[in-house]
Amino acid sequence: MIIDIIKILIPAFATFMIGILITPAITNFLYKNKMWKKKAGKVDMEGKETTVFNSLHKDREVNTPRMGGVVIWLSAFIVMSIIWIISKVFPGEITQKLDFVSRNQTWIPVATLLIGALTGLVDDFFEIKKGNGGLSLKKRLLIVGTVALLVSLWFFFKLSIASIGLPFIDDLFIGWLIIPLFIIVTLGIYSGGVIDGIDGLAGGIFGIIFLSYAGLAFYQQQFDLAAFCAAISGGLLAFLWYNIPPARFYMSETGSMALTITLAVVAFMTDSLGEGYGLIVLPIIAFPLVLTTASVIIQVLSKKFRGGKKVFLSAPIHHHFEAIGWPAYKVTMRYWIVGVMCAILGLIIGLLG
């Protein structure tokens, strides 16, 4: 048991330290090459200027680099690689035990993290260099949906996953419907990536979420998966060190796409596959992401069916709180508090169910 606990703690600590060490070089590169938007402001889904958001954020968008999410996934990959190499060069009971790159638990989430990271990196590059808004929403949704489809097919046909865990009662068998459910959940969580809108907000929330799933995976004795989630959390803390106000850089798509796609995979892996309830507690543990997506949907529907009338001064809802006068740091810290309490509630249900 002690070695299993250490197996979780080492990646978390190591990715934090690696992230802290590599960030100065990444920051210098981003600022030297002016890796930020060349035009301030943004438009909504109808192509109209978002006046409230622009009045709050436009000045910061043109002098703060994007691509900060590189710190998160790169530090995680470095640590995974170092531990894997050590286990191969110095094979032994302890080194092999500490290696958490395994086919049955981490190959899929590692792959989705890499795919999301590189796709997001391309989107950020076009956003910065071409000034055309990056990859279109349709293209990004297509990529995310395709990844989700491929993973869901693997779950259904190779791993024989055809049910979802329900606390306190028997699992719910849904058969092949696990495939569309997987796609819908992944797209839904991906949409929550727009929470990356205030300094420190996304980093803190994602850190809380992945730590929670590290706990769930550990409880299910999926120690490799738990170590993987802990490694991501360590990278997120390193990112957060430099992203708290005033942010040195933004997470942007290379971070948010990688994290959201991977989170959906982790939720399914800690569900019936791990004889747990990782999926049903996802809306609870990731409530800040759900709230963010819901606020955008409500705003869009309201403007469409109520003659342009808005429910929120600005969407997502964290910008609404800014618009009514909350300082950005207050919004961020209150989100963190809500995130922690939701994580605790989700863990209670996930562990006791």
Ranges in the chain, pLDDT < 50? none
pLDDT given for residue 40 in this prediction: 65
pLDDT number for residue 197: 87
Q: Is 22 exposed, middle or buried (0-12, 13-18, 19+ CB in 10 A)?
A: middle
Residue 137 CA to residue 257 CA, distance in Å, equals 12
Cα dihedral 80→86→92→98 (10° resolution): -20
pLDDT score of 130: 73
Query: In this predicted structure, what is the pLDDT of residue 63?
Result: 84
pLDDT at site 51: 65
Using CA atoms, how far apart are residues 127 and 166, in angstroms rounded to an integer? 42
Element (H, E) at 163: strand 163-164
Quickly tell me which residue has 């959390």 as its tokens: 233
**Alpha carbons 32 and 35: distance in angstroms, whole number:** 8
Please count the residues of the chain.
353
Instruction: Tell me which amino acid residue 100 is.
Output: F
- Go through 213-249 and write b for each residue having 16 or more CB atoms within 10 A of its CB, e for each that does not: bbbbbbebebbbbbbbbbbbbbbbbbbbbbbbeebbb
The answer to whether 346 touches 281, Cβ cutoff 8 Å, is yes
8 three-class SS? helix
pLDDT of residue 169: 87
**Alpha-carbon distance values, 298 to 43, 47, 292 (Å):** 17, 18, 10
Q: What is the pLDDT of residue 80?
A: 97
Residue 26 contacts residue 71 (beta carbons within 8 Å): yes
Q: What is the mean pLDDT of the chain?
A: 92
Return the number of other C-beta atoms located less than 10 Å from residue 139's C-beta. Answer: 13
